[in-house]
Amino acid sequence: MHIQDIFAKGGPTLSFEFFPPKTAEASEALYETISELEAYEPSFVSVTYGAGGSTRELTHDLVVRLKTTTSLDPIPHLTCVCHQESDISSILERYAEEGVGNILALGGDPPRDLRSYVKANDAFQQAADLVRYIKRFSVSGNHPDRRGFGIGVAGFPEGHPATPNRLKEMDYLKAKIDAGADYIVTQLFFSNDDFHDFRDRCALSGIHVPIIAGIMPVTSTKGMERMADLAAGARFPAKLLRALRRAGDDADSVEKVGIHYATEQCSDLLAHDVAGIHFYTLNKSHATREIYASLGLRVARPAAV
């Protein structure tokens, strides 16, 4: 379903992010998670896109499987990294044929093996260029929906580490919206003040599309360390760190603290009329289910057995 129709239903969107599994075991775990979370009838689910190589095909496979075997509405991520125009065109053609309604258009993380990666060789240098291309593809009538793909882009409430100039950064974000993006999904954040301020700064910059807040509960100390690395620049407020320190090395307590903290964030976001909340699930369902329960968001229908 086109993202504009999803928003038109009213109320905040609630959605989940998955990544394509690389092993049979991880695949089994993901499908268990999916069957548990499908019952919550999320507004959509999104599927991440690897930095290069064979993992990229897995995104397509997972999107098609979700679309054909579940009631979920998958939104594939697509990035500029290591792609020529012809690659992007054939990916879009396949998604259009399969009736995929939306794409999250991203700059993309560079591949791990930086030696062989030359950014200048990418056909699209910034996500804004990719948005423009998807829009052109859409208006050429290649998509079953006459509006073409709905397009999402990334936003960074705490600022993106590659652009220290926070004024220019808003211009770059505005360029993505002007190129045709319909909505923004944010990077994870732990201080809602950052999100509220980002939303205000967007409005001041003339950005008036819905902004979906990205939430990732801390579920383990190791996970938090990985998160700090992957979402480089993410701030971990003292309030969260203090509570985690109290939990010490008791894994259950750490998880409870992380889930409680994320629940408070979600509760505040809902009270402030957030357009949507996107849960970075890491392919697990427990934390999301706990947050839903604490917020009084009931499961829409019982999980299939």
Residues labelled as active-site residues: 17
Query: Looking at 84-92, 153-161, 255-263, 291-299, which segment touches ligand FAD (CB under 6 A)?
Result: 153-161
> Under rule CB under 6 A, which residues in 65-104 are in contact with ligand FAD?
77, 79
214's tokens: 């990205």
- The site that binds ligand FAD (CB under 6 A) totals a number of residues, namely 23
Minimum CB separation of residue 304 from ligand FAD in Å reads: 28
277's tokens: 């909340």
* x-or-dash string of contact with ligand FAD, 23-52, rule CB under 6 A: -------------------------xx-x-
Cα(187)–Cα(258) distance, integer angstroms: 17
DSSP 143-209: SSSTT--EEEEEE-TT--TT---HHHHHHHHHHHHHTT--EEEEPP-S-HHHHHHHHHHHHHTT--S
b/e 240-276 (16+ beta carbons within 10 angstroms → b):
beebbeebeeeeeebbebbbbbbbebbeebbeeebbb
Distances from the Cα of 124 to the Cα of 73, 88, 127, 188, 249, angstroms: 27, 10, 7, 25, 45
Minimum CB separation of residue 50 from ligand FAD in Å reads: 7
Identity of the residue, 126 or 253, whose beta carbon is nearer to ligand FAD in the bound complex: 126
CA end-to-end span of the chain:
27
Q: What is the dihedral of CA 285, 286, 287, 291, to 10 degrees?
A: 100
Of all residues in this chain, which one has the CB nearest to ligand FAD in the complex? 107
Identity of the residue, 148 or 214, whose beta carbon is nearer to ligand FAD in the bound complex: 214
Query: Looking at 5-13, 123-131, 141-149, 240-248, which segment touches ligand FAD (CB under 6 A)?
Result: 123-131
b/e 115-139 (16+ beta carbons within 10 angstroms → b):
eeeeeeebbbebbbbbbbbbbebbe
> Under rule CB under 6 A, which residues in 178-207 are in contact with ligand FAD?
185, 187
Query: Looking at 126-134, 194-202, 244-252, 255-263, which segment touches ligand FAD (CB under 6 A)?
Result: 126-134
Exposed (0-12), middle (13-18) or buried (19+): which is 174, by Cβ within 10 Å? middle
269 is a site residue for ligand FAD (CB under 6 A): no
Single out the residue of 27, 55, 126, 267 in contact with ligand FAD (rule: CB under 6 A): 126
Tokens 């770059």 belong to: 172
15 is a site residue for ligand FAD (CB under 6 A): no
Query: Looking at 29-37, 106-114, 190-198, 260-268, which segment touches ligand FAD (CB under 6 A)?
Result: 106-114
Cα(69)–Cα(234) distance, integer angstroms: 36
Minimum CB separation of residue 105 from ligand FAD in Å reads: 7
Single out the residue of 34, 100, 106, 227 in contact with ligand FAD (rule: CB under 6 A): 106
* Chain residues that interact with ligand FAD, rule: CB under 6 A: 48-49, 51, 77, 79, 106-109, 126-128, 153-154, 160, 162-163, 169, 172, 176, 185, 187, 214
